[in-house]
Amino acid sequence: MTVREFPILRRAEDGRYRHQPRQGGIMRRALWLKGRVAVFSLVAAANVALAYARPHLDMAMPDWASTGINDHDLGHGVHMLESFGGNNGVVVGDEGVLLVDAEYPQLNAKMRAAITRISPLPVRYLVDTHWHWDHTGANGEWARSGAVIISSEKTREHITATQAAAHALPGKPFAPDAAALPALTIDTQVTLHIGSNTVDLIPIAPAHTDGDVVVRYREANVIQTGDTFFNGFYPDIDIDHGGTIDGMIAWYDRLYALCDAKTKIIPGHGDVATREDVRTFQAMLRDVRSRVSNAIAAGQSEAELIASHPLDDLDVRWGGNVVKQPYLLAVVYEDLKKRQR
């Protein structure tokens, strides 16, 4: 990724955070992070605001008509589709397609066209790696077309609760829609046989959320991480729904062990990665955690920590995308303080 391709953050009506390219750049992906209006109830948001002053981010919706979908053929029938939301996985079987993550509903027609170019067979299964709207927004559309939605139990709980929240009005993200709820939930590894591909659905310990599912395509030697891993920029950690900095850091040891030197990793957002990218990312997060922990031990408030700009050196490599230093510092600070109580 060149400097000109780094996005500028804009905030959409649903409260999440996506990126769009700087002037002269090309929209190669968009990061739709969990803005806390869509991520937890307004009551919970108010409670957080009373305790902390977590920075807000600004974003705007894209022009859906001009937003494209890029197909990356990763071999052995596995594809990564890349667009404005999270990265999507596609694998073709003898009787249908397995799709991993649903994308925005506004891009559903384009997603269907992209999948049809890979295979004319219908989408039979849809796996939600976690509950956020950029990964589940089109759940209902896929289900009404016959797809069986699979997720962790926690992911189903979070979608259900958010649909019931006061702000989920018709036409808005998480508006009540029974079809959008996963029909099958798992709490241990499940294996699907999709044509010549063996696909493992692996629930993991709390990391990005408390309901993350990672997908391993064995024969293709590909692993899809959902938002437990971003390639090339600071992560978002949904601490309001069970995510934790320590869980993220610990998960990367397991992820690395699942890989070999040739494994291709489909991150939640960003380019296809390798296991060495995972180690580099883990080292960065350990560094961030250490700096925040030291600030807490020194008695700094969240506001004082943010004002001190302790990640300026890391920003050069990691701060050029949606999640900026103040937001990451606030999330890690709140997570560590919560665990001290």
Q: Which residues contact 315 (CB under 8 A, 6 or more apart)?
A: 325
Compute the average pLDDT of residues 126-142.
Answer: 97
Instruction: Please name the residues in contact with 7: beta carbons below 8 A apart, sequence gap of 6 or more.
Output: 19, 20, 21, 22, 25, 27, 30, 31, 321, 322
Point out which residues pair with 197 in neighbouring strands. Answer: 194
pLDDT surpassing 60 at residue 13:
no
Residue 14 has pLDDT above 50, yes or no: no
Mean pLDDT of 55-73: 84
Please state, in angstroms and rounded to a whole number, the distance separating the CA atoms of residues 90 and 103.
12
Rounded to a whole number of angstroms, the distance between the first and last alpha carbons of the chain is 41
The reported pLDDT for the residue numbered 32 is 41
The partner residues of 7 in beta bridges, in order of sequence, read 21
Confidence label for 42 from pLDDT (cuts 50, 70 and 90):
very low
For the cut 50, the answer to whether the pLDDT of residue 108 exceeds it is yes
Q: What is the CA radius of gyration of the chain?
A: 19
> Cα–Cα distance between 187 and 124 in angstroms, integer?
21
Q: How distant, in Å, are the alpha carbons of 7, 114, 142 from that of 195?
A: 38, 20, 20
Looking at residue 172, its pLDDT comes to 85
- Strand extents, DSSP E, 84-189: 88-92, 97-100, 123-127, 148-152, 184-186
Distance CA 318, CA 284 (A): 9
Between CA 70 and CA 29 the distance in angstroms is: 9
State the pLDDT at residue 274. 98
pTM of the model as a whole: 0.86
Answer for the pair 268, 228: CB distance below 8 angstroms, yes or no.
yes
Predicted confidence (pLDDT) per residue in 254-286, tens digit: 999 999 999 999 999 999 999 999 999 999 999
Q: Kindly tell me if the per-residue pLDDT of 333 is higher than 90.
A: yes
Output the six-digit token pair for 121.
Answer: 């067979």
Summarize pLDDT for 43-56 with one digit per residue, the tens: 343 344 334 567 76
**234-237, long-range: CB within 8 Å, 24+ apart, which pairs?**
234/318, 234/319, 234/321, 234/323, 234/324, 234/325, 234/328, 235/208, 235/281, 235/285, 235/323, 235/328, 236/17, 236/33, 236/34, 236/208, 236/322, 236/323, 236/327, 236/331, 237/208, 237/331, 237/332, 237/335
Q: For tokens 């990265």, what's the residue?
A: 87
Q: What is the mean pLDDT of the chain?
A: 86
Say what the pLDDT of residue 307 is.
Answer: 97
Residue 102 near residue 246, CB atoms below 8 Å: no
What's residue 322's pLDDT? 85
Under 8 Å CB-to-CB from 120, ≥6 apart: which residues? none
Kindly give, in sequence order, each residue whose CB lies less than 8 Å from that of residue 159, ignoring residues fewer than 6 positions away: 131, 136, 139, 174, 180, 181, 182
Nearest CA-CA partner of 131 in 114, 149, 148, 145 = 149
Q: What are phi and psi of 100, to 5 degrees?
A: -110, 115
Angstrom distance (rounded) from CA 27 to CA 10: 13
pLDDT in tens, 178-221: 999 999 999 999 999 999 999 999 999 999 999 999 999 999 99
Question: What's the rounded Cα separation, in Å, for the pair 91 and 75?
Answer: 10
